[in-house]
Structure 1
Amino acid sequence: MKILVTGAAGFIGAHCVLRLLSDGHQVCGLDNFNDYYDPQLKHDRVDWVREQVGDFPLAKVDLADAEALDALFECEQPQVVIHLAAQAGVRYSLENPRAYLDSNLSGFLNILESCRHHPVRHLIYASSSSVYGANQHTPYSVKDNVDHPLSLYAATKKANESMAHSYSHLFGIPCTGLRFFTVYGPWGRPDMSPIQFARAIAEGQPLKLFNYGQHQRDFTYIDDIIESIARLVERAPQPAPDWNREQPDPASSMAPWRIYNIGGQQPVALKDYLALLEKHLGQKALVELLPLQPGDVLNTCADTSDLALATGFQPRIELDEGLGRFIAWFRDYYPLRSAHSPFMAGL
C-alpha cells in the first residue's frame, strides 16, 4: 500500500519507514526537521534508511501549515497514514508550552482534516503512556480512566485520542491510537535518558536521578514498537458491534476507532536501569539524587492484552538485550568528548 509516515526523520519514524519499505510498501515521508534537538541526527537517520532500502520521497512540511499538508495529501494520495510527528518531551512542555499547541493540537487537526478530504483506509497515530497521568493502578489498561494528565504534553496526547474519535465518528475515518511506553534503541532522541545517561557515564560527567532514582519505567525496544505498527497497518478498526453506550468501553467505540498500549510489560526501577547501562559501558556513573520533578509520572507498566488479541504479538525484547544493542550503536555513532555540565535526563 501507499503509506504516508509523518515524523519520518524522527526516532520511531525512521525505523518505521525502513520496515515498511522492507515489507514492500510504497512510502512517502514528512518531517519539518526542526531544531528541538540537532537536526543532523535526523538527516543521519534518513541516510541510514536510504543506505539500506534505497531512496524514498521525503517532504519538508510543518504540520501547522494546513495548506502545504493538504497539497501533499493531494499529490501523494496515501492509503494509510502513520502519524508519528509531534512535539515531544514532558519537561520541555513546562518551558515552551505553545510549541505543543502548534504541533500536537493544530498539527493533528490538520492531519485529521487531510484524512477527511482525502479519505484513507487507516490512520494510525502516536499517543503516549503519559496520558495515564495521576492514575497509579498498574499495569495500565486501555480501559482505565485517563482524565488526570500531569503535563501539557500528556494533555495534548489525550486530546489527540478524543479528536481522532470525533473524526472517526463523524466522517468514518478508521483511527488507531498507540500509547507508547518509554521507547529506546539505536537512533534514539538525544533528550531521552539512554543517550543522556550513556554520554554522561562515558564522559565521567554527573547525571541527575530525579525522585531519588525510585521511578519505574516500562521500557520498550524500538523493534517491538515497529513490529506492532507493521502488524496493525492492514488491521483497520471496525465499529465494535457490542459497544454499550450505558457502559462505554474506553478503548473501543461504535465508531471505527481503537486504542492500544505498546509496552515491555516489565517495569524496571531507574537505579536498575542505570546499573545495566553501567554494565554494557563497563563504567560506573556519577549520580546526583534529586526530588521528583513536576509533570513526571511515578511508575509505568503496560497491559498489552488488547494488542495481543488484535495482532498476535506482544513486545518481547528484554531490557538487557535491548540496551546491549543500543550501546553498540551508541559507541559507533557518538564520539566521546569532554563536557562541562551535567546531563539532565528525560524519562
Structure 2
Amino acid sequence: MHVLVTGAAGFIGYHLTLRLLAAGHDVTGIDNLNDYYDVQLKKDRLASIASAPEAGKHFRFVRLDLADNAGLDALFTHENFTYVVNMAAQAGVRYSLQNPAAYISTNLTGFGHLLECCRNHNVAHLIFASSSSVYGLNTQRPYSVRHNTDHPASLYAATKKSNELMAHAYSHLYRLPCTGVRLFTVYGPWGRPDMAPHIFAAAIVRGQELRVFNKGRMCRDFTYIDDAVEALARLVPLIPTPDTDFDTAAPNPAASSAPWRVHNIGNNTSVELNTFISLLEDAFGQKARKTFLPMQPGDLEATFADINDMNERTGFTPKTHLRDGIARFAAWYREYYKS
C-alpha cells in the first residue's frame, strides 16, 4: 500500500507513520509544521521516523499545508495513494476560543481540499480524525456513535462534526469510501505539549503551580497512543460499504446508505482527572502544587467511549492499563527533556 498520512509530524500522525512503515507499507507524510506548539518537537518526531530501519526508501516527507489547494493537488497527481489518513488539524478546544480563523482554514477549508483530491485521484479509502468533543452537550454516557452529536460546545468540536458531514456528502455523491474516528484523549510518549498529561508533567517536575479546572472532577477516557494507533491501522484496509439495512425513516447516525462509517477510538473507561494526576505524581515521584479553578468554557465534564462498534469491525480492544501508560509517558518525558 502507498499511504498518505497528513499531520505526520504530529503526535498521532508520527506514531501511525511508524506503525505503517513497520507493516511494510510506503508512506508519504505531510505537515505544515506550524508553531501552535514547539516546532522542534515536530522536527524531532520527523527525525525519529527518518532513523527508523523501515523508513529508507519507504518514507518521504513533504512540508505542505492542506490549505494549499494547488500544492496538495500536485502531490496527489505525482503520487498514487491507495489510502489517505488525515491526522492534520488545528487542535485544541481552548485555543479555538482565541483564534477561530485557524480552525476555519485548516479544519474546514483544508479538509475540503483533501476531499476533492481523494475524489479526483481515486483514493480507495479516506480515514479522518474526528474527536470525542463532537458529543458536546450530550450527557448520555458512555458515548455511542449512535448518539446525537448536534450540539457542540466549542468551535473545534463544530469543525470536527463538520468534517464528518462533509465526508458523508462526498461518500453519498461520489461514492468515496470514508471512515471517521472519534479519538478520546490520546496520551503517551511524544505527546502534544498543549495537552493535559504534558502540562501536568511539566508542572510536577518543575515544582510549578498546576492549574486544575473543575476541581479535578472532570473525567476523561484516556487512551494510550499504541492502542489508538492499532485501531487506526486495522481500519485502514477495511473499506466501508453501504449499509444494506440503513433505514432512511429512522437513520442510524453511525452508518449510511453511502460507503461511510464513524467509530469511537477510546479506552472504554472514564477516569477522574484527580486520579490521573495522582498516577503522574507516582510516576515522577513528586507531588503537584495544585490550584483548583472553575470549569473552563468549551470543556466537557466527562468523556467515556462505547467502542462496541469498533470491536465488532476490527476486533480491537485496548490493552494498556492507565498506570502502565503513564509510566511509559513519564520515562519518555524524563529522557526527552533530560529532567
Q: Is the 8 A contact 1:133 1:148 kept in 2?
A: yes
SS of the equivalent of 1:136 reads: coil
SS of the equivalent of 1:57 reads: strand
TM-score (norm 2): 0.98
RMSD: 0.7
AA in 1 matched with 2:23: D
Residue 55 (structure 2) aligns with: 54
Deviation at 1:9, TM superposition (A): 0.5
Q: Give a deviation string over 1:226-283, Cα, whole Å, max 9, x none.
A: 1001111110100001100001000000000000000011111000100000000000
Residue 281 (structure 1) aligns with: 284
AA in 2 matched with 1:246: A
SS of the equivalent of 1:309 reads: helix
Cα distance in 2, alignment partners of residues 14 and 177 from structure 1? 19
Cα distance in 1, alignment partners of residues 125 and 233 from structure 2? 12
Residue 339 (structure 1) aligns with: none
1:188 pairs with one of 166, 188, 191: 191
AA in 1 matched with 2:264: N
Cα distance in 2, alignment partners of residues 111 and 196 from structure 1? 32
Deviation at 1:54, TM superposition (A): 2.6
Deviation at 1:335, TM superposition (A): 3.3
Residue 14 (structure 2) aligns with: 14
Deviation at 1:76, TM superposition (A): 1.1
Q: Give a deviation string over 1:313-341, Cα, whole Å, max 9, x none.
A: 122211101001100100000134xxxxx
Residue 105 (structure 1) aligns with: 108
Q: Give a deviation string over 1:127-171, Cα, whole Å, max 9, x none.
A: 000000000110000000001000000000000000000000000
Q: Give a deviation string over 1:164-209, Cα, whole Å, max 9, x none.
A: 0000000011000000000000000000111111110011000100
Residue 133 (structure 2) aligns with: 130
Give every structure 1 segment of 4 or more consecutive aligned residues whose post-TM-superposition deviation is greater than 4 Å.
none
Q: Give a deviation string over 1:92-141, Cα, whole Å, max 9, x none.
A: 00000000000000000000000111011100000000000000110000
Tell me the number of residue pairs that the alignment of Structure 1 and Structure 2 aligns: 336
Pairing 1:258–2:258 present: no
Unpaired runs of at least 5, structure 2: none
Cα distance in 2, alignment partners of residues 176 and 120 from structure 1? 13
Residue 66 (structure 2) aligns with: 63
Residue 27 (structure 2) aligns with: 27
Pairing 1:139–2:142 present: yes
Cα distance in 1, alignment partners of residues 255 and 55 from structure 2? 38
Cα distance in 2, alignment partners of residues 141 and 274 from structure 1? 27
AA in 2 matched with 1:90: V
Cα distance in 1, alignment partners of residues 80 and 65 from structure 2? 18
Residue 327 (structure 2) aligns with: 324
Q: Is the 8 A contact 1:64 1:106 kept in 2?
A: yes
Residue 43 (structure 1) aligns with: 43
Cα distance in 1, alignment partners of residues 241 and 147 from structure 2? 21
1:158 pairs with one of 155, 161, 164: 161
How do 1:167-206 residues align onto structure 2 when only pairs under 5 Å count? 167-206=170-209
Cα distance in 2, alignment partners of residues 334 and 257 from structure 1? 42
SS of the equivalent of 1:287 reads: strand
1:80 pairs with one of 64, 75, 83: 83
Residue 232 (structure 2) aligns with: 229
SS of the equivalent of 1:234 reads: coil
Deviation at 1:47, TM superposition (A): 1.0
Deviation at 1:51, TM superposition (A): 1.6
Cα distance in 1, alignment partners of residues 319 and 135 from structure 2? 22
Q: Is the 8 A contact 1:177 1:258 kept in 2?
A: yes
SS of the equivalent of 2:179 reads: strand
Cα distance in 2, alignment partners of residues 49 and 26 from structure 1? 13
AA in 2 matched with 1:139: P
Q: Give a deviation string over 1:58-98, Cα, whole Å, max 9, x none.
A: 11111101010000111112010000000000000000000
Q: Is the 8 A contact 1:144 1:250 kept in 2?
A: yes
AA in 1 matched with 2:32: N
1:118 pairs with one of 121, 133, 146: 121
AA in 1 matched with 2:55: G
1:96 pairs with one of 77, 99, 111: 99
Q: Is the 8 A contact 1:116 1:171 kept in 2?
A: yes
Cα distance in 1, alignment partners of residues 169 and 319 from structure 2? 33
AA in 2 matched with 1:135: N
Cα distance in 2, alignment partners of residues 58 and 78 from structure 1? 14
Residue 341 (structure 1) aligns with: none
SS of the equivalent of 1:27 reads: strand
SS of the equivalent of 2:40 reads: helix
TM-score (norm 1): 0.96
